């Protein structure tokens, strides 16, 4: 939901450059989150575009923005009046729809500076209907903007309406969002108070029948007491250092970012800050800690030192040696990309196209790397890109020390599926125990719908490497 709010603020900021009236009296572009543990609610407030003017228009707008609740994404993208842009972080509706995972009721109150009226939209979980009314409670009126209130389910309200929990979620997932995010937190400070005391001598001097000295004539003593109060606290003060110009980042900035982001107290030993462009673009900064591990056995334990972000929104740090080898698990860093294709939950990467693009880069560096050539051939086959698949599988044969003689260079410009399949069958006769040959044959047979032969090839593979669980 913060992602959707960030998109709304970003759009407001962009449009206000050419039309300042859009900004109006919005003030600072920021988000505020107020948890209420007593009532089990969370309220998110932020500015919006000045477009909501009537109940019918509110209805159409909410239906378009919260698209997964009512319509399709295509309808939202076709909404010309909203000017929905799919280059934003979210997909308009995903964040809002996810609110019902923890809330049994959601209220959206919105007011445009172009209207004197404020409208409130309410929906209950497990219901396909909603209601829109004009807000009449003076205590709930906004100057302008949107206010979303989640009425949490009984099982979740004590966890997600707890202020420190909300602050922790903001710091973990939205630390690097462009706009300030404030959370309502209980704080304390020390206050010096004065109180009067009477010394023993003074007490003896107060005889029976005499009046006690006035308060001002007594000795004063001071002490510090802790006073609690509530106030707004900035939850995302750390800036994404990887978005800055590489040449302008000072050493001290890297040290500060490293310590804050990874809760380190020692200075880092070394770092690298780089940008990769191409089919997949990403920015990254990697750090080597200033102190070695105390126990070498940590190499085999699971770490969460590499953090993946999508447009500065945290996605995952759980790779378990897949995208980053375990022998480098001591390295800490951040990878941020605008091109990662994510599913609706934003938790699982759809890997094929990203894998192919990454392997293409590896192949440019080492054109004869057998592992890369084989992986490219299999990946393109999975994507039903037959020409590319055959090209890389043929190159694998060409560069293999055992099979190079059966795949001469002059034949590589005119490849047919049957020819490549025949060559891999020849290779299987040369080296019956080569697992890679049988994997490729299984993939090729599956592509040609010869499923019985594909099963036979994969069974042979499993017999050759019975303990390889990746197979």
Q: Is 98 helix (H, G, I), strand (E, B) or coil?
A: helix
> How confident is the prediction along the chain (471 residues), in pLDDT tens digits per residue?
888 788 778 878 887 777 777 676 656 789 999 999 889 999 999 876 544 444 555 555 555 444 333 333 333 334 444 444 444 444 444 556 778 888 889 998 888 767 778 888 888 887 777 888 888 888 888 877 888 999 998 888 888 889 999 999 999 889 998 899 999 998 888 888 776 655 554 555 555 555 555 555 556 677 788 888 899 999 988 889 998 887 888 889 999 999 999 989 999 999 998 888 766 788 999 999 988 776 655 555 667 888 989 888 888 887 765 667 777 888 999 999 877 655 433 334 445 556 666 677 777 777 888 888 888 887 777 666 777 788 888 888 888 888 888 877 755 556 777 878 888 898 888 888 888 888 889 888 877 778 888 899 988 988 888 777 667
Single out the residue of 151, 144, 98, 145 nearest to residue 124, CA to CA.
Answer: 151
3-state secondary structure 281-328: CEEEEEEECCCCCCCHHHHHCCCCCEEEEECCEEEECCCCCCCCCHHH
Measured CA to CA, the distance from residue 72 to residue 269 in angstroms comes to: 50
pLDDT value at position 350? 46
Query: How far is 328 from 330, CA to CA, in rounded Å?
Result: 5
CB 468 within 8 A of CB 438: no
User: What is the Cα 314 distance to its own chain's centre?
Assistant: 3
How many Å apart are CA 339 and CA 275, to the nearest integer?
Answer: 13
CA nearest neighbour of 465 among 442, 443, 434: 434
Spatial separation of the C-alpha atoms in residues 205 and 198, rounded to whole Å = 11
pLDDT of res. 143: 79
Report which of 398, 399, 416 is spatially closest to residue 408, judged by C-alpha positions.
398
How many other C-beta atoms lie within 10 A of the C-beta of residue 26?
21
CB 318 within 8 A of CB 304: yes
- SS3 category, 187: strand
In the Cβ-directed half-sphere of 94, how many Cα atoms lie within 13 Å?
16
Total length of the chain: 471
The DSSP symbol for 146 reads E
CA-to-CA distance for 71 and 74, rounded, in angstroms? 8
Q: Please name every residue paired with 220 in a beta bridge, in sequence order, or none if there are none.
A: 196
Residue 324 phi/psi, 5° resolution? -140, 125
Q: Which fold has domain 2-173?
A: Heat Shock Protein 90 (3.30.565)
The residues near 94 (Cβ < 8 Å, ≥ 6 apart) are 4, 68, 344, 346
Structural tokens at position 12 = 């407001």
pLDDT at 322: 60
For residue 92, the cross-strand partners are none
> What is the domain class of 241-337 according to CATH?
alpha beta
Q: At CA 378, angle to CA 366 and CA 443, rounded to 5?
A: 150
Whether domain 352-464 has CATH 1.25.40.10: the reply is yes
The alpha carbon of residue 300 and the mean position of all alpha carbons in its chain are separated, in whole angstroms, by 26
Residue pair 183/73 in contact by the 8 Å Cβ criterion: no
120 vs 88: CA distance, rounded Å: 25
- In this prediction, residue 397 carries a pLDDT of 87
Q: Is the dihedral of CA 320, 324, 328, 332 positive or negative?
A: negative
- Cα–Cα distance between 111 and 118 in angstroms, integer? 5
Q: Where are the domains of the chain?
A: 2-173, 188-234, 241-337, 352-464
Structure tokens at 8: 């709304």
- Please give the angle made by the CA atoms of 143, 149 and 152, to the nearest 5 degrees: 165
Q: 73 near 93, Cβ under 8 Å? A: yes
Q: What CA–CA distance (Å, rounded) separates 407 from 373?
A: 14
Contacts of residue 395, Cβ cutoff 8 Å, sequence gap at least 6:
373, 412
The Cα–Cα gap between 17 and 13 comes to: 7
Q: List b or e across 444-465, with b for residues whose CB sees 16 or more CB atoms inside 10 angstroms.
A: bbbbeeeeebbeebbebbeeee
Q: Which residue has the tokens 């605008």?
A: 338
- Interstrand relation of 41-46 and 145-152 (parallel, antiparallel or unpaired): antiparallel
DSSP state at residue 20 = G
Question: What pLDDT is recorded for position 214?
Answer: 57
């Amino acid at each position: 939901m913060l992602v959707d709010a960030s998109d709304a603020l970003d759009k407001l900021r962009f449009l206000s450059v050419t039309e300042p009236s859009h900004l109006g009296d919005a003030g600072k572009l920021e988000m505020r989150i107020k948890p209420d543990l007593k009532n089990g609610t969370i309220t998110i407030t932020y500015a919006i575009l000045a477009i909501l003017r009537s109940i019918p228009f509110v209805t159409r707008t909410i239906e378009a923005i919260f698209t997964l609740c009512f319509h399709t994404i295509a309808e939202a993208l076709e909404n010309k009046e909203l000017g929905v842009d799919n280059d934003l972080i979210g997909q308009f509706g995903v964040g809002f729809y996810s609110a019902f995972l923890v809330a049994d009721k959601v209220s959206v109150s919105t007011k445009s500076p172009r209207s004197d009226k404020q409208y409130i939209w309410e929906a209950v979980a497990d219901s396909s209907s909603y209601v829109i009314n004009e807000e009449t409670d003076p205590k709930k009126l906004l100057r302008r903007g949107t206010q979303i209130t989640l009425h949490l389910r009984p099982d979740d309200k004590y966890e997600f309406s707890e202020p420190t929990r909300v602050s922790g979620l903001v710091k973990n997932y939205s630390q690097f969002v462009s706009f300030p995010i404030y959370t309502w937190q209980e704080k304390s400070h020390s206050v010096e108070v004065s109180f009067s005391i009477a010394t023993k001598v003074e007490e003896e001097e107060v005889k029976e029948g005499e009046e006690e000295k006035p308060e001002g004539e007594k000795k004063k003593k001071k002490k510090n007491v802790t006073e609690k109060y509530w106030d707004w606290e900035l939850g995302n003060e750390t800036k994404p250092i990887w978005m800055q110009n590489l040449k302008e980042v000072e050493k001290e900035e890297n040290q500060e970012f490293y310590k804050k982001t990874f809760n380190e107290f020692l200075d880092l030993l070394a770092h690298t800050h780089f940008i990769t462009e191409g089919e997949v673009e990403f920015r990254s900064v990697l750090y080597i800690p200033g102190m070695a591990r105390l126990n070498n056995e940590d190499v085999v334990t699971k770490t969460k030192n590499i953090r993946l972000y999508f447009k500065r929104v945290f996605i995952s740090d759980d790779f378990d040696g897949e995208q980053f080898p375990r022998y480098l698990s001591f390295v800490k860093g951040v990878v941020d990309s605008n091109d990662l294709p994510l599913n609706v939950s934003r938790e699982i990467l759809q890997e094929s196209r990203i894998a192919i693009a990454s392997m293409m880069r590896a192949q440019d560096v080492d054109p004869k790397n057998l592992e890369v050539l084989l992986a490219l051939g299999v990946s393109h086959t999975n994507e039903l890109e037959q020409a590319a698949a055959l090209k890389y599988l043929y190159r694998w044969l060409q560069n293999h020390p055992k099979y190079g003689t059966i795949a001469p260079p002059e034949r590589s410009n005119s490849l047919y599926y049957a020819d490549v399949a025949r060559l891999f069958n020849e290779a299987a006769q040369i080296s019956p125990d080569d697992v890679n040959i049988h994997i490729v044959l299984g993939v090729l047979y599956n592509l040609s719908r010869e499923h019985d032969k594909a099963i036979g090839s994969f069974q042979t593979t499993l017999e050759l490497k019975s303990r390889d669980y990746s197979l």
